[in-house]
């Protein structure tokens, strides 16, 4: 594929997929170690009522109100999960199950009880996103990367995911030390004066922001897979937190690149006529990486051993 074809048709979807994968994988490392890895699954369920409420308030289906509604619902969900987990003293998984099933049911009820049932809020968009359609129509080749007018017409999802990734990276970099301590020894963290409750809430809110930003562009499949598969595979490659985070970023990038390429060209190589979903293939590749790491990873036989602080 020449630059005249690659830049407008594949560059932006590929970058958006990479940014979304890494933005979810970074907080996923800490959520995995805290046994809260399914927070991405919960968020993917709870954004439905936020989207419906946003439509009811604005009367329009557009990116901005949908994103705000989904973000509001996600924040409410993570606050409720933390509150139920701490006040009820139950397992995080049980708290997540209560919250995301209740909010998802509420979203479905809103759809059925209002005139939004006729709105095109379909399963395909919610699950698979629209990654393949995020093309850069004004690009004519690599020279467009230096063309101000062409850059002004980039898909809005690209700068949105880039800013989200930057925000997630800055959060982890700024609170790296306290996140490490509170993740591995919450009691010791309290003795040092670290407010673990607020820190844990900030972490899940950061994960919610990453999930909601990725949800609009790439759908819930990538969100769920990237929160779990790259960090879990990285956990089997290193017993040091720094190494785990580095491995998870690498696995997330590999999943996005190889998944996108295989979605477009894999069926053609096998003699088929049509491509398959890029989001689904990216999630599949991340699962394959996890399976390989589980079989051949150097730390797979000590998966219960503590990660080095």
Which token pair is 195?
């407010």
The domain limits of the chain are 3-220
Least confident of 184-193, 258-267, 295-304: 295-304
Question: How much is the pLDDT for 172?
Answer: 95
pTM: 0.82
Closest CA to 129 of 226, 271, 204: 226
Least confident of 38-42, 200-204, 298-302: 298-302
Residue 245 has pLDDT above 90, yes or no: yes
Which token pair is 288?
């394959």
Round to whole Å and give the CA distance between 267 and 279. Answer: 15
Question: How much is the pLDDT for 62?
Answer: 64
Fold of 3-220: ABC transporter involved in vitamin B12 uptake, BtuC (1.10.3470)
Report residue 93's pLDDT band, with 50, 70 and 90 as the boundaries.
Answer: confident
- Please give the full DSSP string across 91-142, using - where no structure is assigned: -HHHHHHHHHHHHHHHHHHHHHHSGGGGS---HHHHHHTTGGG---TT--SG
Question: How much is the pLDDT for 309?
Answer: 47
């Amino acid at each position: 594929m020449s630059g005249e074809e690659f830049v407008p048709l594949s560059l932006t979807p590929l970058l958006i997929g990479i940014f979304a994968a890494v933005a979810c994988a970074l907080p996923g490392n800490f959520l995995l170690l805290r046994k809260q890895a399914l927070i991405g699954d919960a968020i993917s369920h709870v954004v439905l009522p936020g989207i419906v409420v946003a439509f009811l308030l604005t009367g329009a289906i557009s990116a901005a109100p949908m994103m705000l509604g989904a973000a509001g619902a996600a924040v409410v969900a993570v606050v409720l999960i933390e509150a139920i987990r701490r006040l009820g003293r139950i397992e995080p998984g049980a708290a997540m199950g209560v919250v995301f099933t209740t909010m998802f049911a509420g979203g479905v009820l809103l759809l059925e009880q209002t005139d939004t049932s006729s709105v095109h809020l379909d399963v395909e968009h919610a699950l698979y996103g629209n990654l393949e359609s995020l093309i850069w129509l004004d690009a004519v080749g690599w020279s467009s990367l230096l063309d101000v007018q062409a850059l002004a017409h980039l898909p809005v999802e690209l700068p949105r995911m880039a800013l989200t990734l930057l925000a997630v990276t800055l959060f982890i970099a700024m609170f790296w030390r306290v996140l490490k301590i509170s993740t591995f020894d919450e009691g010791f963290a309290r003795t040092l004066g670290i407010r673990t409750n607020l820190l844990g809430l900030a972490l899940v809110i950061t994960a919610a922001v990453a999930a909601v930003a990725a949800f609009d562009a790439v759908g819930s499949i990538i969100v769920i897979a990237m929160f779990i598969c790259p960090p879990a595979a990285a956990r089997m490659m290193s017993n040091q937190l720094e190494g785990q985070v580095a491995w998870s970023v690498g696995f997330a990038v590999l999943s996005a690149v190889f998944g996108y390429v295989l979605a477009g060209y894999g069926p053609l190589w096998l003699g088929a006529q049509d491509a398959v979903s890029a989001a689904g293939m990216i999630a599949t590749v991340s699962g394959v990486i996890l399976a390989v790491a589980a079989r051949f990873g150097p730390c797979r036989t000590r998966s219960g051993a503590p990660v080095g602080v």
